[in-house]
Chain A
Amino acid sequence: MATMKTVRMKVNGVTHESEVEPRTTLVDFLRGPLALTGTHVGCEHGVCGACTILVDGRTARSCLMLAVQADGAEITTVEGLATPEGLHPIQQAFIEEHGLQCGFCTPGFLMSLVELLSENPDPSDAEIKDVLGGQICRCTGYQSILKSVHSAIAKLRTAGVAAQPPLA
């Protein structure tokens, strides 16, 4: 058995401290010990984007990071978007504009958009495509996703809130 390392990270506002094998990927750590199974694994080689999460506010492929690399980080996963009061505006937009079909890739799309719309509340289509070019959806053909992004932009503007969920 490999030497275990202690990692401590704040995930969706909750602090976790665990012993992990150094080789444990971040996504396996989130999905296993932390039971945050909303982050999905699609390719495990960094192409499909299904496992995208926010590490210190920046998107990261959680299949390509080790849990030990996230020691001390603040992490947001799809479970951190909705609140007990309701869905995040980006989630609402995806439902309203049919931005998903099987929904397996969706958490990754949502997290990429949280980063984009936090930094740039009014991106052009080219900027949106530039960001979403790193996410693969096999179901929708992307047009409904683009519509969802525009709807999300309008919702965030109307509500006057930032895309980034509050990190407690």
Chain B
Amino acid sequence: MAVKIPNSIDELPTSSPRFIGHRVKRVEDTGLVTGRTEFIDNVSMTGMLHCAILRSPIAHAKIEKIDVSAALDLPGVVAVVTGEDAAKWSHPAASSPDGWGTYCLPADKVRFVGEPVAAVAATSRYIAEDALELIEIEYEPLDVVSDPVAAMEDGSPLVIEERGSNVMLQRVFNWGDTDAAFAAADHVFSEKFRWNRLGANPIETYGCISEWDPTELGITVRGAFQSPSHMALGRAMTFGLPSNKVRMIAHPHGGSFGGKGGVRGTDVSLLLSRKTGGRPIKWIEDRMEYLAAGGSQAWDRRYEFSIAVTNDGIVTGLKVKLVDDIGANGEGFGAISAAKPLAAFTGPYTIGAAQYDLSLVATNKAPASPYRGMGPPPHNFALEQMMDIAARSLGIDTAEFRRRNFIPKDAFPYIIPSGNEYDSGDYEAVLDKVLALSEYEKLREEQKLAREQGRLVGIGVASAIEPGVFDWNAYAVVGVQGTGVPEGATVSIDILGKVMVRVGFALEGQGQYTLVTQLVADYFGLEMEDVSVTMLDTASAPPAFGPGGSRLGVAITGAVLGACDRIRVKMCKVVAGLMQTEPENIQLMDGVFGIPGVSEAQMPMAQVAGTMLGASHLLPPDVDPRPEATHVWTAAGRTPVDEEGRTKSYLTAAHAVHIVLLEIDPDTGMVEIQKYVLVDDCGTRLNPATVEGQTQGSVAQGIGAALLEEYVYDEDGQLLTSTYMDYLLPTIHDVPALVMGEVVTPSPFSPLGAKGCGEGAIHTTPAAVMCAINDALVPLGTRANEVPAAPNRLWKLIHTARENTSSD
């Protein structure tokens, strides 16, 4: 019998859900506010040593000689590893694109500042760091290439010689007849954009405790893994081990946002464990290591955008040319960020033809990593600027211009030119609501008055899709293989009717253990306290990926409800046997199994569980007596890529429109956000409080992206933003209070109709803020096409524009 996973909250076996859809308190929080939650750096093990990593101070150099003898002589130092050990015991890291990985410790040359070259295991971190200073390395500097455009030219220094070029991938995708759309267009608008490197920066860096098992020839790593199963597969490849010899034990971690990283440090510490005969090796990345060489850096992009537009303001074609600077190798899987925009390439609009001219380029900078949003935020930023450029040129209000181009609500499910399918939506309803909430007309009037006073006040209206529930096929075009991302859960009921749910991912911040608790409590008519959630390691957990690609809320809902349904089916059989009827006559409702309408034929779930576990001789012979089930959920209907790179990849398509009012101080270039209003539609809201939390946090990251955050390299490949004094994260002063509203169009495809919403606002916020900045700059006749729009950049734009005006 097929497992039944409800597509709507109304289909749950409860007359009135008490938890799902409600703002419930998170079950995770008591441990966190008391400091008791076991983050990886809180853990110590018998015999444990501490690892410190020596990193290259030069962006590109041959390693002539490494002498570790003095380090080994330091009391407390147990082992040192270098590229020699890596070559002996490991393989180059898996990468995207394939074949662009390097050893975790290179033997021949370094390719970016911060690249590990040697590592020490010692009895304390202090001693390990002392020992680093005793390692002598002779480098022969090589020419550095830090500009991806220069890196593509013949004769450029090569980052990985064996590849023969710095171009990791070059491909032009054509979806529909884009040239014909441009030839037929009344107007063509083109613009160049620059999005500078930024990144995740969770407040906890990566950390792990690695053990090589010399008897089993396997490895066990405890760590701050966003996806333990994914880390396990990668380590199996790197160390040439069967995947069943690699065990990952995930710990709760202090955020990830896609950029937890940790691959190199894990592999280096595993080499040290092997060299020390299997001692546990703790490696805690420090913040400067994270900033220079962790999973920290993403999206270093040079864009050329063109759109074809009719006189009526309908966009008919889109051309995008992207040079994406991936850094020194493909081990960070930053390249998937160039593939993900295919899942929403034309945004919420009916644009019928599109072209993507994509170049991924290697340079002597830190390898690019994923970051929340995984690539679309810069794409959306540029697309939304184009929408504004066209709207202004045609004299159409920017909100109205978007309305004319929205996919209409009766067109869903809707397949976009790049192949992905949007499940559902009502984009006009979202726009109408945000216009009303923001009192848009009034804002425009206020802006008019402000402009008359010479003030630089701007209003940004931006709209974007958040693809939800990723599938590996979304990244096939950059060499990532596979279709289907499983998420499993095991639900077990004890003899008293209390429930334990076992999952394969650790706490990360999104409140997913709370969601699991809500689901089970409503399904079986329990209190939330009756449900516990625990994490298993990769050796014992059901197949699981964990958070990523706005998937886990939807995926774990499918897994938990699938497991609950399997238990329900078993229990119906048990109850039918006891009541001498057929299982189809038995119904579960509000935690009670029985024959509807027959008051004497009712059994509370706890009694059924107690009977199964305590009196299995009473059960029908074909019933498994355990009140327990596992379900592994995958998204249905995903398709492999076709020859044009098209695929049904992401299951859901959430939508949002943001409106920002801001003012630029012309004397300082500082931006003050005065009003921020957004309405989004992520389908059914399973816990509205956590949805809002994700949205608010994502707006903050989007504001950081638009105004503050930037990794700056000089031409020698030196990182100039190596501390939080230079890499600026948004503080409480930078993030405005939000006005938020919602529209709910449930997904027809997903458990309970929910849409992925974890990445959230970062898909829209940078676009909205930049639209507002450019709106403010209209009277000066200038544009800000570079992100972040930091005060120095805006000041220069404003003053150049004023000088030009005064000299006219």
Contacts and interface: CB of A to CB of B under 8 A. Distances in A.
Interface of A: 1, 21, 23-24, 31, 36-45, 47-48, 50, 77-79, 81-82, 87, 91, 94-96, 98, 100-107, 110, 129, 132-133, 135-146
23 contacts: A31-B42, A36-B35, A40-B204, A40-B254, A42-B254, A42-B287, A78-B35, A79-B35, A98-B692, A101-B511, A101-B694, A102-B255, A102-B508, A103-B32, A104-B204, A104-B253, A110-B33, A133-B731, A135-B732, A138-B202, A143-B696, A145-B732, A146-B737
Interface string B26-39: 10111111111101
Contacts of A144: 692-693, 696
A81 B701 CA distance: 30
Contacts of A37: 35, 39, 41-42
Nearest to B37: A103
Given A103-B29, A105-B254, A139-B255, A38 B697 contact: no
Contacts of A145: 732
A135 B724 CA distance: 12
Contacts of A95: 25-26, 29-30, 33
Interface in B694-752: 694, 696-701, 723-725, 729, 731-733, 735, 737-738
A103 to B, nearest CB: 3
A103 B30 contact: no
Interface string B186-210: 0000000000000001111100000
Interface string B283-315: 000111000000000000000000000000000
Contacts of A21: 126
B621 interface: no
B75 interface: yes
B203 A105 contact: yes
B732 A138 contact: no
Given A47-B723, A103-B509, A143 B735 contact: yes
A99 to B, nearest CB: 9
A104 B270 CA distance: 26
Given A96-B25, A104-B255, A141 B700 contact: yes
B507 interface: yes
Nearest to B736: A143
Most chain A beta carbons < 10 A, residue from B32, B286, B697, B735: B32
Contacts of B30: 87, 95
B689 interface: yes
A78 to B, nearest CB: 4
Contacts of B692: 98, 144
B164 to A, nearest CB: 40
A110 B724 CA distance: 21
A44 B204 CA distance: 11
Contacts of A40: 35, 39, 41, 203-204, 254
Contacts of B735: 141-143
A100 B29 contact: yes
A52 to B, nearest CB: 12
A87 to B, nearest CB: 7
A96 B30 CA distance: 11
Contacts of A143: 696, 735, 737-738
A83 to B, nearest CB: 11
B724 A48 contact: yes
A156 to B, nearest CB: 16
B212 interface: no
Contacts of A100: 29, 32-33
B47 to A, nearest CB: 16
